Structure 1
Amino acid sequence: MTTAPVPTARAATRGPALADRGTPASQASRTVRFAIASTTVTLRKGMFLFFTVALPVLMFLMFNQIFGKQIEGGETVGTFIMVRMAAYGGLGAAVNAGAIIQLERTGGWLRQLMVAGLTPRSFVIGKMVAAMVVVLPALLGVFCAGLLFAGIHLSAGQMVRSLLALWIGMLPLVLLGLVVGLALRPSAVGAATTIGMMLLAVAGGLWFPYEMFPSWLQTISRFTPTYWLGELGTWGVVGDGFPVRGAITLAIWTLVLAVLAALLLGRAARSSSRR
């Protein structure tokens, strides 16, 4: 499977200006403008939207047609397929949106932003906000397909709870994309994100039911963020037994990846300032 191509740094520079050239802007204002520019550029990419929205929708409709009518735990299997395909679409959007940072580094845009007054911390915050925004179409696209075309019935509370759980659970995956983008060379980022997404999707039970795995793979799955992402989304539908272990696991992933991203960004900023 191929991931969506990420926007180039040159394209991103055509977004809204970080600040008015005539008047100084606060760091918060620069961060907001940068986040809006990054979001706009990403959402204009047709291939990005295809691989993160259209493809998960098509996969969901196909799997639902085959397995969706079966009943499990009082809900149709199609409901659980919908949750996991939404998680898969969000996974692709989160990792790719984070990994865009590599092209911006190599294109010299990070140095330009630092010269313009945007701090490395504001840069990361802006990238994370943009990535969390572009995750939403992936989640909403699959849920809308389930409600409109697959005959899945959810109350407003179930839908909001499941979507919110999935969306918040995407944070460590956004950070994972940032770490990959900061740690690897541009030539390796595409392959790393593709392979990483496939492994996380399979090991996390987003493509195949977790119960089908051998015991050793089930053990590994319970340490992956994608497994607990699917479980949180399912909890949003079922409403029973909040997965506390899953929330703790995702929090640990978030903390570790945030520290790695900070260290790698510091290295990238020092390298840019010497150019």
Structure 2
Amino acid sequence: MKILRLQCKAEILRVLRNPYFVFWSLLMPIVFYFIFTKVVNTGAPDKAEWQAHYLMSMTAFSVMGSSIMTLGIRIVQERQHGWATFMRLTPLSDTVYFTAQMMGQTVIHLFSIIVIFTAGALINGVSLTALEWISSGAWILIASTPFLALGTLIGLMRRVETAAGISNVIYMAMAVAGGMWMPLEIMPKIMQTIGKWLPSYNFGNGAWAIVQGNAPEWRNILILIAYLVLFMLLSKYIRRKQEAM
């Protein structure tokens, strides 16, 4: 347990020192939140509702980015620099190492949620009930699992540059097409149809429902589970192919 705790602490410190995390997962979502709720006139009929809605969007955007980019790129870097090989030579088991990575990333996600929720409260005075704050935060934390799986899938790439480029494209495409930057309802019909099947939309939609006083839809949950299974199976398949080479 002590080894796991120390390794988890090391993983957290490494993420916090990562410029990708600071920019994509903290700075960028807060800047976007400020721009689209304080600077740009969106014409939302209920300003308070829009501010709460967009706060959930940017928090989900942050956690999604941390999962896809920070985790994925870090895994590639570790393998490229020989860190993963070195860890296999230590008494630390693969299970402990992997568990520490996932636990560390989860703590980082919790940190991101708290920081961005606080920013929303300070910037716009977003006021939710205690249950809504906790429920939306818990949803974002738990429902981010498919994106962690996607991050590990990206982590199987051989070059950091490739992983960074592809993860960036996936991250931005999912955010835009999933309605995180702007409501899906204002997009063309074809985009709405596609968007509703993306993990990003179903991830965000659960949080949006909570701040409106509703529960996440079962459709959102089932689609996210399906993506989780898909990404895990793909990771397992590709890893086996790589090991066989």
Is TM more than 0.5 here? yes
The residue type paired with residue 190 of structure 2 is W
Q: Match of 2:36?
A: 63
Please, which of 71, 90, 99 is the counterpart of residue 98 of structure 1? 71
> What is the distance in 1 between the residues matched to 2:222 and 2:149?
16
Amino acid paired to 2:107? V
* Partner residue, 2:199: 225
More helix by share: 2
CA shift, 1:164, in A, is 0.8
Partner-residue secondary structure (3-state), 1:183: coil
Match of 1:213 among 160, 177, 187: 187
2:142 aligned to 158, 168, 186, which one? Answer: 168
CA distance in 1, matches of 2:207, 2:106: 16
Picking from 252, 258, 264, the partner of 2:226 is 252
Distance in 2 separating the partners of 1:265 and 1:30: 26
Unpaired runs of 5+ residues, structure 2, are: none
1:1-275 correspondence runs (5 A): 29-46=2-19, 48-65=21-38, 66-67=40-41, 70-72=44-46, 76-99=49-72, 100-266=74-240
Distance 1:64 1:93, change over 3 A: same
- 1:39-72 deviation digits (Å, cap 9, x = unpaired): 1111123552132112211110110113478345
Moved over 6 A (4+): none
Partner of 1:14: none
- For 1:50, the aligned partner's letter is F
Conserved in 2, the CA contact under 8 Å of 1:31 and 1:126? yes
CA distance in 2 between counterparts of 1:269 and 1:117 reads 22
Greater relative contact order (Cα 8 A, min sep 6): structure 1 or 2?
2
Contact 2:121–2:127 (CA under 8 A) maintained in structure 1: yes
Q: Aligned equivalents of 1:154 and 1:259: distance in 2?
A: 38
- CA deviation vs aligned residue, 1:193-222 (integer Å, no higher than 9, x gap): 111111010111001110012121111111
Q: Is the 8 A contact 1:163 1:236 kept in 2?
A: no
User: Aligned letter for 1:33?
Assistant: L
Shift of 1:95: 1.2
Larger deviation, residues 246-255 vs 139-148: 139-148
- CA distance in structure 1 between the aligned counterparts of 2:239 and 2:95, rounded to whole angstroms: 9
- The answer as to whether partners of 1:120 and 1:265 remain within 8 angstroms in 2 is no
SS class of match (1:182): coil
Query: Are the counterparts in 1 of residues 205 and 216 from structure 2 also a CA contact under 8 Å?
Result: no
Equivalents in 1 of 2:189, 2:68: separation in Å? 28
TM-score for both structures, normalised by structure 2: 0.89
CA contact (8 A) 2:60 2:204 kept: yes
CA contact (8 A) 1:69 1:78 kept: no
Q: Aligned partners of 2:159 and 2:19: how far apart in 1?
A: 25
CA deviations on 1:85-111 (whole Å, 9 max, x unpaired) are 111111111112321111111111111
Identity of aligned residues (%): 23
Q: TM-score when scaled to structure 1?
A: 0.80
121-130 vs 262-271, which deviates more?
A: 262-271
1:137-191 per-residue CA deviation (whole Å, 9 max, x = no partner) reads 3222221111122121111111111111111111111111110111343230110
When structure 1 is superposed on structure 2, of 116-125 and 50-59 the one drifting more is 116-125
How many residue pairs match? The answer is: 243
Q: How many Å apart are 1:31 and its aligned residue? A: 4.1
Q: Which runs of 5+ in 1 are unaligned?
A: 1-27
